[in-house]
Amino acid sequence: MFDYAFLVLLLPFLSAVILGLFGMKMPPKIAGIIGSTVLGTLFLLSLYTAYHYFFYTGEYSAMGQVFNVVDGRLSNGLYPTVTVFNITWLKFTELLTFNIGFRLSPISVMMLIVITTVSFMVHLYSFGYMAERDEKYKFEEYEKGFQRFYAYLSLFTMSMLGLVVATNIFQMYLFWELVGVCSYLLIGFYYPKHTAVHASKKAFIVTRFADLFFLIGILFFSFYVGTFNYDLSTSLELTDKLSTIASDPTIAWAIPTALFLMFIGGAGKSAMFPLHIWLPDAMEGPTPVSALIHAATMVVAGVYQVASLFPIYIKFGATEQLHWIAYIAAFTAFYAAAVACCQRDIKRGLAFSTISQIAYMLVALGVCFAIDNEDGGLGYMASMFHLFTHAMFKALLFLCSGAIIVIIGSNFKEYMGGLHKYMPITNICFLIGCIAISGVWPLAGFFSKDEIVSACFKFSPFLGWFMTLVSGMTAFYMFRLYYVIFWGESYYEQDPEHRRRPQEVPFIMWGPLVFLAIISIFAGWIPFGHFISATGKSAEIHLQHFHFSSVAWFSLLAAAIGIGLATWMYLPKHNPIPNILAKRMPALHKAALNRFYIDDIWQFVTHRIVFRCFSIPIAWFDRHVIDGTFNFLAWGTQEAGESIRPWQSGDVRIMLYGSLREL
């Protein structure tokens, strides 16, 4: 039934190749239309796939396996894991093969929807955005830029889809690297800009560094388990093998270690502390890219990876590693929220917000300690739910900020203010995004975030309160952003003669905004637990039935306090409080503004220590010591030759003299 699935990878690949090779010869519009058409097709295909996967009744087969399903579920009440195809790509040994395949499971189907929805919206939106943007940068070859942009976007979409449908961990790694490179290319899209080039380099190298651990984790895993397959439901041998290892005390450490090493790779992509430093700088890329890659899809790859391996974590003695993840993520969530409160650049503010929200997802996964739907395993569902809703409202927020940046021509909040008059649609959409992310009933964020907080309370009350606090901070920094952009003092009105008058963006840009806003409003009401839960069986989200527990009230209260505080501090046109606060605590404010100097620490380690203490001495050593030795040998040989040359000159007198002297 899912035989068309290969198209999902092939179409964007072809589109990327065609646009990459021939893009320069086409008019930019055509390139955009090709890219968007492909994405539109993919979007429809994913919807179709999801519909069939979750609701089909009857019988279908894939790879020789027959699935007999009622409403998408097998007789045991679970959704099947359907491997549509699985091709041997590389054979390491007879047993250990590297396959490229296509697998549908509840979470991969959900990811298909997320990726294609956001990507499609971004493709449409970019028609407006890239045209404006390129004129502004006065690119001599701005038309080429347009095609290049769509080629990269297609390539990225292909890689991301390949990542989520991976049948094995190595395939995930392969596409993982590919999305990394697409991200590199897109961050450095405005390549004449110095900062963009630096940011792209930084992003790639930091994530590559993390990927090293992912790779080592894979090596450990494959060595002990003997396969790259990670899906317990499709392979009984895998379960057997894992239980053998887990029960053998000499090698029982291997699985948790491997899993945690793989998580470090995920932490790099998902920007967990202290590997988060690349994400804020990644905002140098075009804003649609930030929405697609650095908010909705690629950065959640780490979450997706942990979720994919989740059954192995729980069943084979790695729950402790899960909890480490939870602590790392909880700290990251707090840290990023604190930094987000002080950013001047609206995109960087949103970037820190993204870090914080992804950390929420990982906290939710990390606090799980059992597989059930209500207690120890609630976090799994909550995490995936938040991934889904967050992708929608964060993409919305980024696209809105893109619209503002196009109109204003700057990322900094000083140039904004009072925009609600000039950009009504963007205003409403941004507000919806803010409310959704703050977790206010009845928008999407409320449901997913409160599930996470409840899951935290089930694990430890401390973490629960901590995450409630962070959700209050979220509400605060989002509304701060909202007020300084749309309310407050207008930059334009201070000098209307010389400054450009802000106006609403064209339909091709606000259309996607409205679409995403609508999803952000209603996504919370999707009976998500029915489709995705830790056990795979249908679970209920109590909040959707108005069973508000005390947890929900507390987090609503936190959100209300955050919003209230932001309103009080930033809504009035000349409120001195923020400045007073900044002056009172100069060290704290400065530290937060400079992201608590984490970037500088990394800079110090990489430049001063690795570069200065290893590379330069090694290069010197190579040129002087090793080379010197060989040159010395050559010189020695030559000198020796010189010195014995007279002996062999054939001059009879010298020879005679020599022999006579001996006498």
Partner 1 sequence: MLFGLWVAKNDNQVRGVMVAGSTVLLASAIWLTVYFVQQRNLGNTTDMLLANSIMWFKPLNIAFSVGVDGISVVMILLSAIIVFTGTFASWQLEPMKKEYFLWFVLLASGVFGFFISTDMFTMFMFYEVALIPMYLLIGVWGTGAKEYSAMKLTLMLMGGSALLILGILGIYYFSGATTMDVSELARMHTMSKTAQNIFFPFVFIGFGVLGALFPFHTWSPDGHASAPTAVSMLHAGVLMKLGGYGCLRIAMFLMPEALNMWAPIFLVLTCISVVYGALSACVQTDLKYINAYSSVSHCGMVLFALVMTTQTAITGAILQMLSHGLMTALFFAVIGMIYHRAGTRDVRYLGGLMKVVPFLAVAYVVAGLANLGLPGFSGFIAEMTIFVGSFENAGMFHRVATIIACTSIVVTAVYILRVVGKILFQTIPNKKFNELHDATWDERFSIGALIFCVAGLGMAPLFFENIIIDAVAPIFNHIIAFAPTLGNL
Query: Which parts of this chain interact with partner 1 (CB under 8 A)?
Result: 88-93, 96, 98, 140-141, 144, 170, 174-175, 177-178, 181, 184, 188, 191-194, 196-198, 200-201, 204-205, 208-209, 211-212, 215-216, 219-220, 222-223, 611, 614-616, 618-619, 622, 626-627, 629-631, 634
The label of the residue with tokens 């609600």 reads 420
If residue 102 lies in a helix (H) or strand (E), which one and from where to where?
A: strand 97-104
Least separation in angstroms between CB 626 and partner 1: 5
> Which lies closer to partner 1 via its Cβ, residue 573 or residue 607?
607
Choose between 68 and 638: whose C-beta lies nearer to partner 1.
638
Query: Which are the contacts of 363, defined by CB distance < 8 A and separation ≥ 6?
Result: 326, 329, 330, 333, 379, 452, 456, 463, 467
Angle at 22 between CA 20 and CA 28, to 5 degrees: 85
Please, which residue, 254 or 571, has the CB nearer to partner 1? 254
Please tell me the distance from the alpha carbon of residue 83 to that of residue 91, in angstroms, as a whole number: 19
For partner 1, the closer of residues 259 and 470 by Cβ is 259
Give dist(CA 57, CA 476) in Å, integer.
47
Partners of 99 in the β-ladder = 88
* Nearest distance in Å: CB 45, partner 1: 23
Q: For the CB of residue 157, give the shortest distance to partner 1 in the complex, in Å.
A: 15
- Closest distance between partner 1 and the C-beta of residue 180, in Å? 9
Give the span between the Cα atoms of 159 and 156, in whole angstroms: 5
Q: Which is nearer to partner 1, 204 or 486 (CB)?
A: 204
Query: What value, to the nearest 5°, has the Cα angle with vertex 445 and ends 439 and 446?
Result: 50
Which residue, among 446, 438, 524, has the nearest Cα to 478 in the 3D structure? 438
**Please, what is the minimum distance in Å from the beta carbon of residue 144 to partner 1?**
8
Considering the complex, state which of residue 192 and residue 586 has its C-beta at the smaller distance from partner 1. Answer: 192
Which lies closer to partner 1 via its Cβ, residue 88 or residue 549?
Answer: 88
Give the list of residues 6+ apart from residue 527 with CB closer than 8 angstroms, or none.
Answer: 540, 541, 544
CA dihedral 420, 421, 426, 431 (to 10 degrees): 30
Work out how close the CB of 250 gets to partner 1 at its nearest, in angstroms, rounded to a whole number: 12
φ/ψ of 310, rounded to 5, equals -50, -50
Q: Give the phi and the psi of residue 184 in degrees, each rounded to 5.
A: -60, -50
Residue 135 Cβ, how far from partner 1 at the closest point, in Å? 17
CA dihedral 587, 589, 595, 599 (to 10 degrees): -30
Gap between the Cα atoms of 533 and 285, Å rounded? 35
Pick the closer one to partner 1 by CB: 196 or 399.
196
Between 62 and 182, CB nearer to partner 1: 182
**Distance between CA atoms of 177 and 142, rounded to whole angstroms?**
28
**Shortest Å distance, C-beta 11 to partner 1:** 17
Instruction: Rank residues 65 and 615 by Cβ distance to partner 1 and give the closer one.
Output: 615
Q: Is the bond preceding residue 27 a cis peptide, omega within 30 degrees?
A: no
**Alpha-carbon distance 407 to 484, whole Å?**
16
- Closest to partner 1 by CB, 40 or 226: 226
Residue ranges of the alpha helices (H) in 316-423? 319-340, 346-366, 378-408
Contact between 333 and 360 under an 8 Å Cβ cutoff? The reply is yes
Contacts of residue 341, Cβ cutoff 8 Å, sequence gap at least 6: 473, 476, 477, 480, 592
Q: Hey, what are 243's tokens?
A: 């239980």
**Which residue, 24 or 656, is less far from partner 1 as judged by CB?**
24
In the bound state with partner 1, the residue whose beta carbon lies nearer, of 577 and 626, is 626
Question: Taking the complex as a whole, how short is the minimal distance between the CB of residue 631 and partner 1, in angstroms?
Answer: 8
Q: Which long-range contacts (CB under 8 A, 24 or more apart) does 595-603 make?
A: 595/277, 595/280, 595/339, 596/335, 596/338, 596/339, 598/273, 598/274, 598/276, 598/277, 599/277, 601/274, 602/206, 602/274, 602/277
